[in-house]
Structure 1
Amino acid sequence: MKKKILIVLVSFLGGMGLLRAQESSLGIKAGVNFSTLTGDGFEGLDSKTGYHFGIVGELGISEKFSIQPEVLYSTQGAESEDVDFDINYLNVPILAKIYFLRNISFQVGPQFGYVTDQSGDGFDLANVDLKDYDLSGAAGVEVKFKSIFLQGRYNFGLSDVTDSGTKNAVFQFSVGYNFL
């Protein structure tokens, strides 16, 4: 009987240590976007400054690897002296997060976006056949300071956002806070 209790106790404590190594978190983040559109019909446009905000989670798999799902509202688009084109998205990146130092990680994975709104000045929106969705790849780096984190990321279009072959290209810089 004492052996069984000892085995259960050791297994429980070992399991608790394993869970601590595989921590999970939930938080919020916000930041600035520098976006543009590439492809036919959008040549000569400059980067547009926008913003993003939302919730971020981290599901620990091991000490060096986790999965980071997010739900973000993101203002994107492109502009020039005569044209201003806005596309607002609800983006859901699902990133693999690889820690190469204790508080610094590399992130990579897909991002699924749904258009929530569009507007434009300087051209006829009726001539822009914008798709309702966007599939992008995302790659970036994160630095953690206890509950606060900083991220830099590049999102590159994998799918066309118009029938003419236009893709999104977005640099994002974020600050966040993990409260769980």
Structure 2
Amino acid sequence: MKKLILSLALFVIALTGYSQGFSFGPKVGLSQTKLDLKSDEFKNGDSKFGYHVGVFARVGLGPLYLQPEVLFTQTQGQFTFNPDDQPIREYEADFNRLDIPVMVGFKMFNFLRLQAGPIASININSEIKDATNTVQDVDYKDATLGYQAGLGVDIGNLIIDAKYESSLDNFSGNVGNFETDQRTNQFILSVGFKLF
């Protein structure tokens, strides 16, 4: 994962010399997250709100651009455990991670943007709780890969992005003694400001 991050950073620096525009600035936003669990014993719950804060850079290449971001992201999820021979238990999940999306986009009409690209998520601190305690035997992955796609609008130095994100990889292989494929899907609304 460190090699991937270093390679992306060097790629952006190299493109900066050949670009028609480079911008950089802070970015914040909200997300609405829903867990997607593929298991007979678990049922997906309601969607939850989260937030992200970080920085973005944009390298312009004519109508095309590359926009890498580094964001601290906090998301939540809810699900229930409903096996045949046990009472229903509700769980709340909290995920704190470092997200590194790299959007490739196309500008239209000087203000509208179409964009899509991969996102690497590095787990910082994640936990699942039931009504009594934190669940200890959950095997979290250190990093996962996903994708984002959406639209963006530029108004002066203000950028607004609306994206959908889904994971290509599960973030844990089990909850308790039960195997499951857990993924997060979220709608993201972000606002950034170009400092230069």
TM-score by length of 1: 0.82
Higher strand share: 2
Does residue 143 of the first structure (1) align with residue 159 of the second (2)? no
Is residue 149–residue 176 contact of structure 1 (8 Å, CA) maintained in 2?
yes
- Picking from 177, 181, 187, the partner of 1:165 is 181
Runs of 4+ in structure 1 deviating by more than 6 angstroms, as ranges, are none
| Selected match of 2:193 from 165, 172, 177 | 177
Determine the C-alpha separation between the residues in 1 that align with 2:78 and 2:37.
Answer: 14
Name the counterpart of 1:61.
Answer: 61
Q: Which has the larger radius of gyration?
A: 1
Bigger fraction of residues in helix: 1
Residue of structure 1 equivalent to 2:94:
86
Amino acid of the structure 2 residue aligned with 1:158: L
Q: Deviations over 1:13-44 (max 9, x none)?
A: xxxxxx9x821100111011111221235522
- 1:40-94 superposed Cα distances (whole Å, 9 cap, x missing partner): 35522211111001000001111x1010000001111302593211011100001
Aligned residues: 161
- Secondary structure of 2:139's counterpart equals coil
Residue aligning to 1:46 = 46
C-alpha separation between the residues in 1 aligned to 2:102 and 2:134?
Answer: 34
Residue segments in structure 1 that go unaligned for 5+ positions in a row: 1-18
Q: CA RMSD in A?
A: 2.0
Q: Structure 2: which amino acid aligns with 1:169?
A: N
Structure 2 portions without partners, runs of 5+: 1-16, 81-89, 174-179
Partner residue in 2 for 1:10: none
Partners of 2:121 and 2:152 lie apart in 1 by 22
- 1:100 corresponds in structure 2 to 108
Q: What SS is found at the alignment partner of 1:159?
A: coil
